[in-house]
């Protein structure tokens, strides 16, 4: 599998784990018993942020790319070092995502190389490539500039098997051996006893000393099948990247053009300042957004997801395990986040808005299997929100009080008649599709009104 990422086995080893989070935790185990410092980017997945809890020498969150660039340019110092603190026995870890799992923004891939030049042997890099590898070629052909540790999940590339990996530059592998724990299969000898406890870690390939217990051999074997099918279908990750990028750029432009009849923009899209949907080096095939109704009110993300699901559209909503991205793009301060928590906000509990601000985002992602029809269907779905009020599907606003079956059907027809924009969009669809969509809308209304 190293070849799929253009990694030379002379310089790299691959350790199989359950998923990308398990790969990150394997690196965290090396932090646990040492005098270590951790830096992480604010766009990091929660699993990367958790590393800070094991950094005994402290941690730092970098709130922008510019902060990272400045830090690297000034020698990537440890905290307190500028005041004369002895950090000669300390080592550090800088962790960041290759692609934001919130909005798909792609971060610079040259940071590990710059870090190595400024702090060779004392500061290491961990790249979370889980979101990136799903639609881009991870190129580790130059081991000199490659990250020391790269975490990823195979199922995000191939769909199956449920398996992840940590790719390690062998020059940095000794850091992982700092951990105290050892599992079955990672040692050559263990002595039990009250007088003396001792064990000998395997000294061969790095993965032999770190893959605790029986590896998921069924999943590992299935990787060959997954790779073969993926190659026959798509040719290469370069092809996947071009395909998904073109579809997402088209969808982004369509979404930007959506406005209500009063001129207000319908979609608030959360794009990185340096990201460009026509440039695959700065943006992946992901769009993070929220929807406003014609009155400027937020359409609840949970409500949006329910309607999308009923229209056979799969997407994700919520905080998407990216606390820094959510806080920055939704303009939520740390104090507000704590207050929201105190008032009952929890991950996935259906609270969509607090103090006039959304509590999360709607995220759509495209990939190897997406096609133009998927984009068209999602745009048709989005257009049904044009010129509608946030409560247009709320039974409480029904002109008919009774919930009897006859009155429910009358109520549905009244709502359909009161949706000129929706029907005008449907009229532009060919006859057979129009009837199918109307049938779907009626079914949605029956569930919401006649329940």
The burial class, CB within 10 Å (0-12 / 13-18 / 19+), for 402 is exposed
For residue 238 the two structure tokens come to 């370069």
- E strands in 241-301: 267-269, 286-292, 298-299
Residue 447: phi, psi to the nearest 5? -65, -40
DSSP 260: -
CB 106 within 8 A of CB 98: yes
Residue pair 381/311 in contact (Cβ under 8 Å)? The answer is: yes
Beta bridge partners of 198: 191
Closest to 421 (Cα-Cα) out of 382, 379, 380, 387 = 387
Considering all CA atoms of the chain, what is the largest pairwise distance in Å, rounded to the nearest integer? 85
Helices (H), 298-427: 301-310, 323-329, 334-342, 372-383, 405-417, 420-427
State both tokens at 170: 């062998």
Catalytic (active site) residue 321: yes
Residues written for the chain = 451
Other Cβ atoms closer than 10 A to 237: 21
**CA atoms of 138 and 136, how far apart (whole Å):** 6
The catalytic position among 267, 321, 347, 450 is: 321
Which residues are known catalytic residues?
321
């Amino acid at each position: 599998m190293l070849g799929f990422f253009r990694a030379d086995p002379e310089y790299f080893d691959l350790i199989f784990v359950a998923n990308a989070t398990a790969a990150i935790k394997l690196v965290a185990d090396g932090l646990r018993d040492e005098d270590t410092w951790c830096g992480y980017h604010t766009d990091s997945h929660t699993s990367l942020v958790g590393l800070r809890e094991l950094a005994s020498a402290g941690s730092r969150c970098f709130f922008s790319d510019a902060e990272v660039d400045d830090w690297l340019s000034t020698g990537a110092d440890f905290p307190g070092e500028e005041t004369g603190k002895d950090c000669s026995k300390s080592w550090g870890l800088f962790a960041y995502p290759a692609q934001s799992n919130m909005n798909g923004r792609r971060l610079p891939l040259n940071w590990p190389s710059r870090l190595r030049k400024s702090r060779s042997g004392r500061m290491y890099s961990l790249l979370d490539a889980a979101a990136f590898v799903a639609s881009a070629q991870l190129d580790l052909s130059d081991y000199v500039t490659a990250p020391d540790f790269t975490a990823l999940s195979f199922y995000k590339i191939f769909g199956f098997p449920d398996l992840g990996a940590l790719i390690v530059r062998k020059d940095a592998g000794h850091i992982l051996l700092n951990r105290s724990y050892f599992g079955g299969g990672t040692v050559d000898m263990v002595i039990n006893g009250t007088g003396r406890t001792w064990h000998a870690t395997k000294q061969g390939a790095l993965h032999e000393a770190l893959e605790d217990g029986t590896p998921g051999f069924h999943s590992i074997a299935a990787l060959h099948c997954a790779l073969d099918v993926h190659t026959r279908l798509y040719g290469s990750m370069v092809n996947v990247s071009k395909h998904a990028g073109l579809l997402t750029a088209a969808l982004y432009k369509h979404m930007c053009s959506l406005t209500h009849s009063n001129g207000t923009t319908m979609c608030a899209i959360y794009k990185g300042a340096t990201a460009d949907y026509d440039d695959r080096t700065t943006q992946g095939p992901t769009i993070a957004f929220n929807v406003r109704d014609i009155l400027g009110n937020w359409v609840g993300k949970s409500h949006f997801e329910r309607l999308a699901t009923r229209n056979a559209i799969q997407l994700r909503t919520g905080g998407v395990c990216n606390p820094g991205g959510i806080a920055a793009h939704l303009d939520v301060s740390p104090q507000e986040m704590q207050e929201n928590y105190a008032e009952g906000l929890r991950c996935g509990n259906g609270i969509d808005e607090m103090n006039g601000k959304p509590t999360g985002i709607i995220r759509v992602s495209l990939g190897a299997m997406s096609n133009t029809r998927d984009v068209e269907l999602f745009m048709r779905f989005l257009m049904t929100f044009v010129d509608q009020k946030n409560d247009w599907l709320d039974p409480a606003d029904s002109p008919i009080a009774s919930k009897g079956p006859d009155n429910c059907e009358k109520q549905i027809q009244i709502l359909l008649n009161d949706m000129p924009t929706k029907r005008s969009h449907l009229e532009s669809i060919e006859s057979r599709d129009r009837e199918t969509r109307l049938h779907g809308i009626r079914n949605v209304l029956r569930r919401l009104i006649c329940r």
